[in-house]
Amino acid sequence: MMMELFKEAGYETCDYEEFADVYVINTCTVTNMSERKSRQILRRAKEINPDAILCVVGCYVQVAKEELEKLPEIDILLGTNDRKNIVTCVNDFLDKKKIGKVSIVNDIMKKQEYVEWGSTAYTDKGRAEIKIQDGCDRFCTYCIIPYARGPVRSRNINEIYEEALKLAETGIKELVVTGIHISSYGKDLKDDIKLIDVLERLNSIEEIKRIRLGSLEPLIITEEFVNRLSKLDKVCNHFHLSLQSGCDETLKRMNRRYTVDEFRTIVKLLRDNIPEVALTTDVIVGFPGETDEEFEKTYNFLKEIEFSKMHVFKYSPRKGTKAASFPNQVDGKTKILRSEKLIELSDANERRFASKYIGNSIDVLFENEEEGHTTNYIKVIDKNKLGKANEIISVIPKGFESDYLYL
């Protein structure tokens, strides 16, 4: 959305690797790797143009302001909820109204209302993200996000609907409903409004053909939720349910608020009611205290469920979280071996799930002339480049290769 703010202010945007007067790095702090990548990117920007204004914003800034203020390359630092001021800060810097480093990082834990950016998300791929909330109050023991994003703040449902209408007018066919923890949508609002109410409103927009959901908290999947969801013809049959572990003991230490049996019931509920449903997930290996026996429980559960794809993460201690100080930290070599085993399982499951569609007609929304996705989020590649961007086309795949079906 910051790109739209700059465009509205008359700035010309370009690819990150190009020479520019201003570079904006929107940082992540979920893992040590994401922070390292952020530092690499900002140094790369200064290599391209040593005289450029370098702005670093977002989650990493929110939780490590003092650390980043020491880096001489950075000119402007803005916290998570302060990014909306990015253009003003850059203009002031260019006009020399601000001498020296600019650093604005407010206490995110005091933020109680959703901050409207007043700008429609830019996209040229036939798909656009629409953010419905910010913040998280789950406080999983491994996660820094509640400290970086603050408490749950839900966006007004009418504002969501109005932005969706604007996106529909541009020809967008698919909306991706996003947020930090979209399952918590509405819990801070006075009215009894929940995520399913937002989906029902979006489903009523004629020009929108697909509605895709971001990551879901498993416990939001109830009989009532699925019953209402199954009546919405535009909601994609793909659900990303964040599992993290298939072992009850590990889940308890993570402060995840469900059991393996509850998750199994949730999976059955979706598969019994949503045709051709694809289920994907996140898994953390090497969480503190995860023994070989606990890992085997996770592996066997994942093998039983057969997710169509799994995103596997090696546990990364985050300063300020409870798990960082837990005893029995798992060594790096063990994490790698466990990660490799789960990735191998994920690859096999992905191939098995996608291969069911070889030789069958499927509808694909092409983002460009070569690549598109099915409703249940199988990637499809047309090597002949005969696809049409932002068009839904019925195709018949010939085979599966790597991580996609090909025509």
Kindly report, residue by residue over 303-340, the tens digit of the pLDDT: 999 999 999 999 999 989 999 999 999 999 999 999 99
Q: Domain end: 236, 268, 290, which one?
A: 236
Q: What's the total number of domains in the chain?
A: 3
Q: pLDDT value at position 101?
A: 84
Task: For residues 102 and 114, state if they share a domain.
Answer: no
Rounded to the nearest integer, the mean pLDDT of the chain is 92
Q: Same domain for 7 and 101?
A: yes
Q: Which of 58-62, 168-172, 346-350, 383-387 has the lowest mean pLDDT?
A: 383-387
Q: Is 393 exposed, middle or buried (0-12, 13-18, 19+ CB in 10 A)?
A: middle
pLDDT band at 2 (very low <50, low <70, confident <90, very high): confident
**194 and 207 within one domain:** yes
What confidence tier does 116 reach under pLDDT thresholds 50, 70, 90? confident
Asked if 126 and 159 sit in the same domain, the reply is yes
Mean pLDDT, range 170-193, rounded to an integer:
94
Specify the length of the chain in residues.
407
C-alpha 198 chain-centroid distance? 18
Residues 120 and 26: their CA atoms lie apart, in Å, by: 18
Cα end-to-end distance, the chain, whole Å:
35
In sign, the C-alpha dihedral spanning 129, 198, 223, 262 is: positive
CATH at 172: 3.30.750.210
For position 15, what pLDDT does the model report? 86
For the ranges 38-47, 291-300, 361-370, the lowest mean pLDDT is seen at 38-47
What is the share, in percent, of the chain residues with pLDDT greater than 90?
74
Same-domain check for residues 92 and 190: no
Confidence class of residue 35 from pLDDT cuts 50, 70 and 90? confident
* Bridge partners for 77 per DSSP: 56, 103
The answer to whether residues 59 and 173 belong to one domain is no
Instruction: Tell how far CA 205 is from the center of its chain.
Output: 24
- Band (pLDDT 50/70/90 cuts) for residue 190 is confident
Contact 405, 397 (CB under 8 A): yes
pLDDT at 239: 98
26 lies in some domain: yes
Please tell me the distance from the alpha carbon of residue 346 to that of residue 98, in angstroms, as a whole number.
51
219-259 pLDDT tens trace: 999 999 999 999 999 999 999 999 999 999 999 999 999 99
pLDDT above 80 for 126: no
Handedness of CA 192, 198, 203, 204 (dihedral sign): positive
Domain membership flag for residue 372 = yes
Domain membership flag for residue 47: yes
Identify whether residues 124 and 216 lie together within a single domain.
yes
Classify 366 as helix, strand or coil. Answer: strand
**142 pLDDT more than 90:** yes
Domain match, 82 and 124 both? no
257 in a structural domain: no
Query: How sure is the predictor about 125, in pLDDT bands with cuts at 50, 70 and 90?
Result: low
CATH of the domain at 29: 3.40.50.12160
121 pLDDT band (50/70/90 cuts)?
Answer: low
What is the span of the domain harbouring residue 366?
Answer: 362-406
Tell me, yes or no, whether 68 and 92 share the same domain.
yes
Q: What is the pLDDT of residues 83-113, one digit of tens each?
A: 888 999 999 888 876 667 889 888 888 767 8
Please check whether residues 8 and 51 belong to one and the same domain.
Answer: yes
Identify whether 39 is part of a domain.
yes
Do 59 and 158 fall within a single domain?
no
Domain boundary among 84, 106, 128: 106
**Is residue 7 one of the residues assigned to a domain?**
yes
Query: Is residue 15 helix, strand or coil?
Result: coil
In terms of domains, do 147 and 77 share one? no
C-alpha span between 365 and 363 (Å, rounded): 7
Is residue 210 a part of any domain in this protein? yes
Q: Is residue 115 part of a domain?
A: yes
Q: Which residue, of 106, 130, 149, is where some domain finishes? A: 106
User: Whole-prediction pTM value?
Assistant: 0.90
Average pLDDT for 60-76: 90
Neighbours of 402 (CB within 10 A): 10
